[in-house]
Structures are given as structure tokens and as C-alpha cells.
Chains A and B, each alone.
Chain A
Amino acid sequence: GDSVTQMEGPVTLSEEAFLTINCTYTATGYPSLFWYVQYPGEGLQLLLKATKADDKGSNKGFEATYRKETTSFHLEKGSVQVSDSAVYFCALLNSGGYQKVTFGTGTKLQVIP
């Protein structure tokens, strides 16, 4: 079945540091890939997405590139802020016709001033 593997957290960075959160996936077919962010006490929010190989999703300074050859979708940001502290979930939606998204376990990011 489909699966998503994320790096374990928590990840602690100083403000303005470079961020990478690794995500790899296993899926049949041609899935769409997503990053969701969950701020404390809130639901998950779609951060960015990519629907086919080599697509780059971007939003709020975050980027991720759909790499089919390495089955990866790593999240990056050049300069993190304290307000980026949250839990980040990598996810995939298989193109097999069902709307079931498979989520990773989440990576907690803490940015300190």
C-alpha cells in the first residue's frame, strides 16, 4: 500500500536558519504530493502541493520539488521565522481514483529567536 516516511522530529533551529524536512514515499501510479502545516491548537492547513514529477510547489517561502526518481518531496525554506514553529505533515493522494490521502507521522519544527 501507499506510505509516507518523514524524518523524525523535533527539529530545533535558530531564526533565519535553513530548513529541510525530508519526506519519501511509496506509491503505485502517479500520486499528488502535499505538505500540510498544523499550528498549535489548530487543524491542518495545506501549505503546498505538486501534482506531477519535477513540479515545484511553493508557498510562504517554503518549497518542495516532486522527485520521482528518488520518490522524495523534501520541504525547504531558506530562512525560518519563529512563526514557522509548527508540525509539518507530508502526504500523498494516489491517482488510483480514491480520495484517500496518506499522511506521514509529522515533523515538529521549533524555531528559537
Chain B
Amino acid sequence: GESVGLHLPTLSVQEGDNSIINCAYSNSASDYFIWYKQESGKGPQFIIDIRSNMDKRQGQRVTVLLNKTVKHLSLQIAATQPGDSAVYFCAESSGSARQLTFGSGTQLTVLP
């Protein structure tokens, strides 16, 4: 079946560096993508989303890039801070039901 997956389960970066978290999807009909941040023991927090008619969208310190040709999504975090340490999930949506399918997550650890 269709799935959303992440390339790396863990990512460690130095404080102040930029982080890039990748996500691959297999459903070519997916037309909406969303990134969530989940801190330990808490619910996922919306970060940024993008529709398939765009290839880039920027927020505060975050940028999402969408490459529909290779079905790849990435989240870039600029000047990574200790508070950015969390699990990051991508999710995709398609079809009339508009349900989200979630990846398994990437643990981002920010090193001092």
C-alpha cells in the first residue's frame, strides 16, 4: 500500500547549524503535506504545510521543499536551537477523505 517514510530515524546537529529532515512518499496522488514537531510526552505541534502546486514554502526559521518528481519532502530548520530537539513527522493527504498518513518520525537532537 501507499506509505510515507523517512530517510533517517535520528539526526544530530550542532546548535546554530541548519538541520535538514527528509521524507519520502510513494502516493503520486498526494497533494497536501504537513510537518509536525512532537516533544517527549506531548501531542504533535503543527509546523508548516505545503500543497502540491508549490515547491517551496517558508515560515519562521523553517522551510519546506517539495520535489514531486522524486516524491520527496524536506524540512529545513535554520540556526537550530536546543528547543528544536524533538521528533519530526511528515504526513500526506490525498483523495476525497482527506485523511493524513503519517511517517514514523525522525528524532532531532541538538548538541551544545
Partners in one complex: no
